[in-house]
C-alpha cells in the first residue's frame, strides 16, 4: 500500500490458501485514511501489482465487515487431469495421467457432506485444535479428460481441501473403497487407516467467497443452507 497511498496497511484475506495454489475469487479488506476514492483503488493497485495478480473490483464496506470472519461460505475447486501431458493446463491442475472411476469418487464425496471432524483430512496438527467443519457440497464432475472436485463449506482446516482431493483420487484409482470416508471422519476409528495423500497445491483454486446480504461474524453458530456453485 505504501507505493499507492504512502500508508502501511494490513491486508486481510478471506481465505489462507496454500503456497502454490491459485485464486479467482479472493476477497481482501484493509483500512485506509487516504483520500483515494473506494472505486479507484482497483486501478491504482493494478498499476503496481505483479502481472499475475489483479484486483477486479474495489468498494467501500461497512466498518463491521471482515473479509475472513464475515464470509458465509467458500468454494474451492481441485482439478485432476487424466489425459496426456498438457503444459498449458498443468500449471493450474495436477496431472494423474490415467482414467479414474468418477462414480466411485462421487459416492465417497457424498459421505463428506455435513458437519464432521475433518482432522484426518487436514495436515497432521499438533494439539487439540478444533477440526470440525461443515461442508454444504462436494461435487465430482468430469470435463473431457479432467476430473473436477468442487467443495463448498463454511471454512477449511489447513491442508483440508488438498487431502480431500487426495482421498477422492485414491478412491478413483481403486486404492480405497468409498466407505473409507465414514471411517476417516470418525474420531474413534480414523487412526485405523492411513490418512489420505495430500495432492500438490497447483491443482487448487479458490473460486468464490460469499458474504450474503446480512453481514455477521460466522464464528457464531448458523444453520446449514443449500448453496449453488459456479462451473464453467
> How does pLDDT run across 188-223, given as a tens digit for each residue?
999 999 999 999 999 999 999 998 777 777 666 554
The residues that are catalytic are 18
Instruction: Judge whether residue 2 has pLDDT over 70.
Output: no
CATH code for the domain in which residue 82 is found? 3.30.70.660
| 35 in any annotated domain | no
Whether 227 has a pLDDT exceeding 50, the answer reads: no
Residue 40 included in any domain: no
C-alpha–C-alpha distance, residues 195 and 80, integer Å:
20
In a domain, residue 23? The reply is no
Q: Which three cell numbers stand for residue 13?
A: 484475506
Q: Is the dihedral of CA 209, 50, 200, 123 positive or negative?
A: negative
Per the structure, the count of domains in the chain is 1
Residue pLDDT, tens place only, 92-151: 999 999 999 999 999 999 999 999 999 999 986 655 688 999 999 999 999 999 999 999
> Quick one: DSSP state of residue 161?
H
Q: Which domain holds residue 202?
A: 73-210
Q: What is the pLDDT of residues 47-60, one digit of tens each?
A: 999 998 999 999 99
Residue 202 maps to a domain: yes
Domain-located, residue 215: no
Say what the pLDDT of residue 7 is: 72
Amino acid at each position: 500500500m505504501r507505493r499507492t497511498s504512502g500508508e502501511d496497511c494490513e491486508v486481510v484475506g478471506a481465505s489462507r490458501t496454500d503456497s502454490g495454489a491459485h485464486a479467482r475469487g479472493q476477497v481482501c479488506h484493509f483500512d485506509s485514511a487516504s483520500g483515494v476514492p473506494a472505486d479507484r483503488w482497483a486501478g491504482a493497485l493494478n498499476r503496481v501489482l505483479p502481472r499475475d495478480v489483479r484486483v477486479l473490483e474495489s468498494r467501500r464496506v461497512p466498518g463491521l465487515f471482515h473479509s475472513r470472519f464475515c464470509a458465509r461460505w467458500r468454494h474451492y475447486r481441485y482439478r485432476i487431469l487424466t489425459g496426456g501431458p498438457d503444459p498449458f493446463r498443468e500449471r493450474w491442475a495436477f496431472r494423474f495421467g490415467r482414467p479414474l472411476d468418477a462414480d466411485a469418487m462421487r459416492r465417497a464425496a457424498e459421505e463428506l457432506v455435513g458437519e464432521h471432524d475433518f482432522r484426518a483430512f487436514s495436515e497432521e496438527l499438533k494439539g487439540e485444535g478444533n477440526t470440525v467443519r461443515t461442508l454444504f457440497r462436494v461435487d465430482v464432475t468430469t470435463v473431457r479428460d479432467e476430473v473436477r472436485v468442487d467443495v463448498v463449506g463454511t471454512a477449511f482446516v489447513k491442508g483440508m481441501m488438498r487431502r480431500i482431493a487426495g482421498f477422492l483420487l485414491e478412491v478413483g484409482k481403486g486404492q480405497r473403497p468409498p466407505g473409507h470416508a465414514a471411517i476417516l471422519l470418525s474420531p474413534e476409528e480414523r487412526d485405523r487407516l492411513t490418512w489420505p495423500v495430500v495432492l500438490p497445491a497447483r491443482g487448487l483454486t479458490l473460486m468464490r467467497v460469499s458474504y450474503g446480504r446480512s453481514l455477521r461474524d460466522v464464528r457464531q453458530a448458523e444453520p446449514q443452507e443449500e448453496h449453488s456453485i459456479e462451473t464453467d
